[in-house]
């Protein structure tokens, strides 16, 4: 990174709302795996005489999303029409909220790897409809309107990020907030959340921002970070050459890791915004807003706070928060069985579960009792940590108790002193241990680890290592 | 002319055949774009067989051809929708059908309801029911003429700035523009969403009451509809009525003023008080209207792009497809309004035109509200002149717009306004008076008109 320049980043994020039907029509909002133009209503099709009917669930989700971003909700908000001609836009206008959005100013604090937070102010977020999809072939194009009319909220931040890492951290945190709040399914692969990164550079200390370029339609946190890295380098290179950055929209190519110009500000269309006369304003009293928000699920900041005394690494916390079901489980265990147990289970989940969908689904159905029992067995030295991990993996996909699993697999730790004593004798008299024994006697404490290891090996991991160590010390 | 009672208690098939026969006899007026004969007879047969007892069982009617309806294309008198067959029907039509009414045809109009003479129809103008050299008025000219000719006892129209009231006045029938939101707009080709209303033509106040009572009410398909407030009422005695001064100037045809004054005399003689009132802001109403309405038109007509349905021109590129389809599909008046609307909404002009017009509109609404706190009803002419000659104003859009000056105020304020026949000019042309009331007073306006009908 060139240290003479600093970057300023603002992000716009489109979040697809998890409603059953579209924003203004009764058509199915889930187009995944459906044939082209199979989930459309005359309203989304733009038939003459059709009128939009606002989906109240979408408004509720917007109100909940607002809370997740610590944002104020407007008591009165309205819809506007944004006009342009394109075959994927059936009415010739998109219904959006240009002048009076539902979600007002807010704040998101995204954790950084160094333990700090980047504070990103939300300028506002508005409800709007998505467009359909065009697929281009040689000399013709096909229109699929399945997605036309799907409810989105577009979240617009203030330019509060100053590094690719901050942009990535914000994107990741926003995704968690929206998913936890139940606002979206958050399926990035299917474009449930799409990020536009606005980035400008200016000499360090400059009071004026540079001209910005907007990189559109990024669908992963990593690409948000990479696009910001690339844009910074590109813009600095232009300035270094004495050239100017043009205000424009750029596309991102994930394979080449580059952005490229799509259209400049000069081509910018006049959208002829107009209040939509077909849709009455959304009027919400503070009581109604509170009622919509009162049964919201807990959000990542709640868990971070709750786990702060467990002494977990940030990476462990991140792994847990990657799945809402893990976070809920650990939190429940913490409430029912205490911090120690919760911490042990937390580590298993953070390191042990593959993140493929199948396992995640299995894991979302679990009950806490089995994991608590497993953690207690470890605490009572009935299982080694290695053996516990094996039981844990089985527990994820089985409805047996951890004790039954441990017994079946013959993993229960031996804490019988005479049995272990025999193994200790065997190891200490083994010629292979002779050097270690000698060193230990000479005062080298460290080699005891080697000896315990040998005992564990001989006992196939079942010996209680603490007991083994105690016996070694006694015998030598 | 006929009334609904003429069709009650007789065979629906006979009624439909009679109406279709009458329509064919009056073909030269070009009031109809299509007959829905086959479907109408099917429905009539069913109604006769099942003895459907609806309030309009077996009564034939005609809908303006911007109502989505089965049995014929819904063209909006445009090339664009010339072959468009609606997959569903307008709520208003559905409600009438539930009561047993039978739609027998689709009436001519100015293309996309833009105009005041029906001369903007792609398929040629409709002739005035009384004088074939004169215009039918518009945009619901066809619906007014089929009612005036006695083809059907009532017809449906849309009124965005006078499109029901003006042709009603020109042809000597009742024309009802209800309170904004009284009748669902669902399934009616949109012109200007904030002033579009669905109403009817009839030959007497009682029939108009019945039809409005059937059509009015909340519709889950139109978020701007009001809960049903329409309730057929008795006339309130001793009403205070205001004559709008700005509508009775020297520019207004003497015969038209005379007719209004005759009506005022009748009001006085039946126990009502009549006073002159003034709304100075009215001089800006036409300017407001011709900013706000074209803005909404330019937006509502954006969907006619040739991609999904309707006219699609042969074109080599996407922009040609749009350009040519819209060029072929729209008439000059459509294009004129789209251009005005696009202009007033464009960046840099939006605040100066559209927002300013909306602010002025609020002031106009306030002025009318204030007046209607002291007066039950406001009265004036519907138009400054009786029906004008075909071609007289066709080449001068400003002249044509000026004939809307008395009707646009009720549209901008969302208030109910009805056109009531009030005699003829010396040369025998029909003239109507306009009664305007507070929002939701539709039934009271009709009750007042009915009471004067009886007093004649």
Report pLDDT digits (tens) over B204-229: 999 999 999 999 999 999 999 999 99
Q: Which helix (H) or strand (E) holds B413?
A: helix B408-413
A15 pLDDT higher than 50: yes
The answer to whether residue B325 is domain-embedded is no
**Highest mean predicted confidence (pLDDT) among A355-364, B387-396, B426-435:** B426-435
CA torsion, ordered A465, A467, A470, A475, to nearest 10 deg: -100
Q: Is A199 helix (H, G, I), strand (E, B) or coil?
A: strand
Q: Which domains does chain A possess?
A: 5-288 (no CATH), 300-408 (no CATH), 417-475 (1.10.10.410)
The domain total for chain B is 1
Note the pLDDT of residue B334. Answer: 98
Measure CB to CB from residue B223 to each of A45, A50, A280 and give the nearest one: A280
| Shortest CA gap B204–chain A (Å) | 29
Report, as an integer, the average pLDDT of B245-249.
Answer: 95
What is the domain range of residue B71?
4-215
The answer to whether residue B80 is domain-embedded is yes
- pLDDT tens profile B60-112: 999 999 999 999 999 999 999 999 999 999 999 999 999 999 999 999 999 99
Backbone angles phi, psi at A111, to 5 degrees: -70, 140
Check: CB of residue A381 under 8 Å from CB of residue A415. Answer: yes
């937390």: which residue's tokens? A346
Q: Which helix (H) or strand (E) holds B454?
A: helix B442-455
CA proximity to B266, closest of B92, B448, B395, B430? B448
Confidence of residue A265 (pLDDT cuts 50, 70, 90): low
Report, as an integer, the average pLDDT of A82-87.
Answer: 96
CA proximity to A167, closest of A227, A107, A216? A227
Contacting residues for A184 by C-beta, under 8 A, at least 6 apart: A15, A16, A17, A18, A178, A192, A193
Structure tokens at B348: 């840099």
Confidence of residue B364 (pLDDT cuts 50, 70, 90): very high
Taking an 8 Å cut-off on Cβ atoms, the answer to whether A45 and B308 are in contact is: yes
Note the pLDDT of residue A452. Answer: 85
A371 to each of A311, A351, A396, A404, A442, how far by Cα in Å?
19, 15, 9, 13, 44
Tell me the β-bridge partners of B61: B103, B154
Note the pLDDT of residue A264. Answer: 72
The angle at the Cα of A93, spanning A87 to A96, to the nearest 5 degrees, equals 130
Note the pLDDT of residue B456. Answer: 47
Note the pLDDT of residue A205. Answer: 87
Note the pLDDT of residue A390. Answer: 87
The answer to whether residue B409 is domain-embedded is no
Size of interface A-B (CB pairs under 8 A): 94
| Shortest CA gap B185–chain A (Å) | 7
Note the pLDDT of residue B455. Answer: 57
Q: 3-state SS of chain B: helix, strand, coil percent to 5?
A: 40, 15, 40
The answer to whether B362 contacts chain A (CB < 8 Å) is no
Measured from the Cβ of residue A79, the count of other Cβ atoms closer than 10 Å reads 28
> What CA–CA distance (Å, rounded) separates B163 from B178?
12
**8-state DSSP, B245:** G
Structure tokens at A26: 């009764």
CA proximity to B40, closest of B117, B115, B121, B96? B96
Note the pLDDT of residue A473. Answer: 83
> What CA–CA distance (Å, rounded) separates A420 from A458?
10
Measured from the Cβ of residue B362, the count of other Cβ atoms closer than 10 Å reads 11
Note the pLDDT of residue A129. Answer: 98
The answer to whether residue B422 is domain-embedded is no
B191 pLDDT higher than 90: yes
> What CA–CA distance (Å, rounded) separates A12 from A156?
5
Structure tokens at B176: 């009802």
- pLDDT tens profile B249-298: 998 999 999 999 999 999 999 999 999 999 999 999 999 999 999 999 99
Structure tokens at B205: 């106040």
Check: CB of residue B304 under 8 Å from CB of residue B380. Answer: no
CA end-to-end span of chain B: 18
Note the pLDDT of residue A423. Answer: 85
A219 pLDDT higher than 90: yes
The answer to whether residue B364 is domain-embedded is no
The answer to whether residue B397 is domain-embedded is no
Does residue A393 have a cis peptide bond before it, meaning omega lies within 30 degrees of 0? no
Taking an 8 Å cut-off on Cβ atoms, the answer to whether B302 and A92 are in contact is: yes
Mean pLDDT for chain A overall = 91
B163 given a catalytic annotation: yes
Note the pLDDT of residue A475. Answer: 81
Taking an 8 Å cut-off on Cβ atoms, the answer to whether B189 and A46 are in contact is: no
A131 to each of A12, A149, A152, A155, how far by Cα in Å?
17, 6, 10, 17
> What CA–CA distance (Å, rounded) separates A45 from B299?
16
The answer to whether residue B398 is domain-embedded is no
> What CA–CA distance (Å, rounded) separates A49 from B190?
6
Backbone angles phi, psi at A207, to 5 degrees: -90, -10
Structure tokens at A20: 């059953």
- pLDDT tens profile A319-375: 999 989 899 999 999 999 999 999 999 999 887 665 555 555 555 556 788 899 999
> What CA–CA distance (Å, rounded) separates A29 from A445?
66
Mean pLDDT for chain B overall = 96
Q: Is B358 exposed, middle or buried (0-12, 13-18, 19+ CB in 10 A)?
A: middle
B51 pLDDT higher than 80: no
The angle at the Cα of A442, spanning A437 to A443, to the nearest 5 degrees, equals 100
B121 given a catalytic annotation: no
> What CA–CA distance (Å, rounded) separates B81 from B111?
10
User: What is the share, in percent, of chain A residues with pLDDT greater than 90?
Assistant: 67
CA proximity to B59, closest of B152, B198, B143, B142? B152
The answer to whether residue B437 is domain-embedded is no
Q: Which among B78, B117, B121, B139 is annotated as catalytic?
A: B139
Contacting residues for B39 by C-beta, under 8 A, at least 6 apart: B70, B71, B103
Measured from the Cβ of residue A54, the count of other Cβ atoms closer than 10 Å reads 18
Q: Which helix (H) or strand (E) holds B161?
A: none
Taking an 8 Å cut-off on Cβ atoms, the answer to whether A51 and B186 are in contact is: yes
B139 given a catalytic annotation: yes
**8-state DSSP, A264:** E
Note the pLDDT of residue A266. Answer: 64
Tell me the β-bridge partners of B417: B177, B436
């009886």: which residue's tokens? B454
Tell me, what CATH number does B175's domain have?
3.90.1300.10
In angstroms, what is the C-alpha Rg of chain B? 21
Structure tokens at A379: 């605490």
Structure tokens at B49: 């067989």
Taking an 8 Å cut-off on Cβ atoms, the answer to whether B303 and A83 are in contact is: no
Measure CB to CB from residue A53 to each of B88, B220, B307 and give the nearest one: B220
- pLDDT tens profile A367-380: 788 899 999 998 88
CA proximity to A50, closest of B453, B222, B118? B222
Backbone angles phi, psi at B201, to 5 degrees: -110, 140
CA proximity to B430, closest of B129, B62, B208? B129
Residues of chain A with C-beta less than 8 angstroms from the C-beta of B76: 48
Note the pLDDT of residue B437. Answer: 98
> What CA–CA distance (Å, rounded) separates A277 from B418?
24
Measure CB to CB from residue A83 to each of B84, B302, B354 and give the nearest one: B302
**8-state DSSP, B387:** P
């Amino acid at each position: 990174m060139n240290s003479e320049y600093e970057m300023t980043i603002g992000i716009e994020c489109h979040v697809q709302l998890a409603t059953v039907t579209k924003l203004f029509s009764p058509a199915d909002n889930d187009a995944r795996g459906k044939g082209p133009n199979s989930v459309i209503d005359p309203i989304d099709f733009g038939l003459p005489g059709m009128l939009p009917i606002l989906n109240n669930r979408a408004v509720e989700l917007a109100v909940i999303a607002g809370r997740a971003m610590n944002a104020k909700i407007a008591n009165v908000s309205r819809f506007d029409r944004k006009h342009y001609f394109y075959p994927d836009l059936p009415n010739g206008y998109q219904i959006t909220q240009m002048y009076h959005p539902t979600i007002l100013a807010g704040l998101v604090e995204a954790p950084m790897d160094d333990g700090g937070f980047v504070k990103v102010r939300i300028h506002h977020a508005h409800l709007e409809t998505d467009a359909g999809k065009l697929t281009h072939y040689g000399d013709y194009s096909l229109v699929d309107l399945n997605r036309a009319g799907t409810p989105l909220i577009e979240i617009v931040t203030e330019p509060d990020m100053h590094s690719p890492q901050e942009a990535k951290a914000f994107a990741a945190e926003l995704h968690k907030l929206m998913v936890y709040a139940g606002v979206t399914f958050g399926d990035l692969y299917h474009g449930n959340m799409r990020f536009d990164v606005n980035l400008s550079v200016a000499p360090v200390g400059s009071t004026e921002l540079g001209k910005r370029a907007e990189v559109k339609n990024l669908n992963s946190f990593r690409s948000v970070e990479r696009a910001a890295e690339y844009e910074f380098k590109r813009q600095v290179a232009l300035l270094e050459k004495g050239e100017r950055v043009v205000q424009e929209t750029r596309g991102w190519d994930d394979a080449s890791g580059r952005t490229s110009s799509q259209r400049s500000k000069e081509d910018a269309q006049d959208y002829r915004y107009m209040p939509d006369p077909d849709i009455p304003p959304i009027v919400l009293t503070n009581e109604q807003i509170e009622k919509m928000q009162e049964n919201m699920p807990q959000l990542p900041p709640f868990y971070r706070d709750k786990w702060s005394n467990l002494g977990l690494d940030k990476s462990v916390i991140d792994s847990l928060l990657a799945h809402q079901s893990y976070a809920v489980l650990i939190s429940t265990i913490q409430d029912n069985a205490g911090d120690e147990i919760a911490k042990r289970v937390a580590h298993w989940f953070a390191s042990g579960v593959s993140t493929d969908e199948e396992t995640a689904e299995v894991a979302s159905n679990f009950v806490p009792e089995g994991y608590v029992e497993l953690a207690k067995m470890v605490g009572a030295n009935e299982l080694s940590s290695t053996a516990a991990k094996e039981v844990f993996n089985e527990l994820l996909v089985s409805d047996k108790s951890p004790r039954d699993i441990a017994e079946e697999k013959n993993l229960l730790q031996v804490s019988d002193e005479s049995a272990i004593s025999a193994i200790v004798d065997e190891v200490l008299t083994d010629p292979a241990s002779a050097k270690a024994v000698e060193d230990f006697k000479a005062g080298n404490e460290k080699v005891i680890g080697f000896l315990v290891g040998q005992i564990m090996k001989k006992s196939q991991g079942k010996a209680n290592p603490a007991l083994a160590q105690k016996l070694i010390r006694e015998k030598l | 002319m006929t009334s609904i009672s003429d069709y009650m208690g007789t065979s629906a098939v006979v009624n439909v055949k009679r109406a279709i026969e009458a329509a064919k006899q009056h073909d030269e007026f070009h009031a109809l774009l299509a007959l829905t004969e086959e479907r109408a007879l099917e429905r009539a047969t069913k109604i006769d067989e099942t003895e459907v007892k609806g309030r309009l069982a077996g009564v034939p009617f005609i809908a303006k051809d911007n109502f989505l309806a089965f049995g014929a294309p819904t063209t909006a008198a445009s090339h664009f929708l010339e072959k468009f067959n609606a997959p569903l029907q307008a709520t208003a039509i559905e409600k009438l059908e539930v009561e047993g009414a039978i739609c027998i045809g689709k009436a001519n109009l100015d293309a996309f309801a833009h105009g005041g003479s029906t001369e903007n129809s792609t398929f040629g103008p409709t002739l005035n029911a009384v004088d074939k050299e004169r215009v039918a008025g518009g945009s619901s000219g066809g619906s007014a003429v089929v009612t005036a000719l006695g083809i059907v006892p009532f017809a449906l129209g849309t009124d965005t700035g006078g499109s029901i009231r003006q042709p009603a006045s020109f042809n000597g029938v009742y024309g009802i523009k209800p309170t904004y939101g009284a009748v669902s707009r669902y399934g009616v080709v949109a012109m200007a969403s904030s002033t579009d209303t669905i109403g009817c033509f009839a030959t007497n106040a009682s029939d108009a009451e019945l039809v409005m009572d059937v059509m009015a009410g909340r519709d889950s398909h139109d978020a701007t509809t009001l809960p049903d407030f329409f309730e057929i009422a008795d006339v309130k005695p001793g009403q205070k009525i205001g004559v709008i001064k700005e509508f009775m100037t020297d520019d207004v045809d003497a015969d038209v003023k005379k007719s209004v004054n005759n009506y005022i005399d009748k009001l006085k003689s039946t126990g009502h008080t009549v006073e002159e009132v003034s709304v100075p802001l009215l001089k800006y109403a036409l300017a407001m209207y011709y900013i706000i309405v074209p803005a909404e038109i330019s937006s509502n007509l954006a969907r006619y792009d040739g991609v999904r349905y309707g006219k699609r021109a042969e074109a080599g590129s996407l922009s040609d497809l749009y350009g040519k389809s819209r060029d072929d599909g729209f008439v000059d008046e459509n294009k004129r309004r789209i251009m005005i609307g696009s202009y007033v909404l464009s960046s840099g002009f939006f605040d100066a035109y559209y927002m300013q017009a909306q602010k002025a509109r609020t002031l106009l609404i306030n002025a009318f509200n204030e007046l209607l706190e002291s007066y039950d009803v406001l009265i004036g002419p519907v138009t400054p002149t009786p029906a004008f000659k075909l071609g007289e104003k066709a080449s001068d859009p400003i002249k044509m717009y000026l004939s809307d000056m008395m009707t646009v105020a009720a549209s901008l304020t969302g208030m109910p306004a009805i056109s009531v026949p009030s005699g003829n000019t010396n040369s025998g042309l029909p003239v109507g008076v306009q009664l305007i009331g507070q929002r939701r007073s539709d039934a009271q306006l009709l009750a007042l008109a009915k009471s004067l009908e009886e007093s004649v």
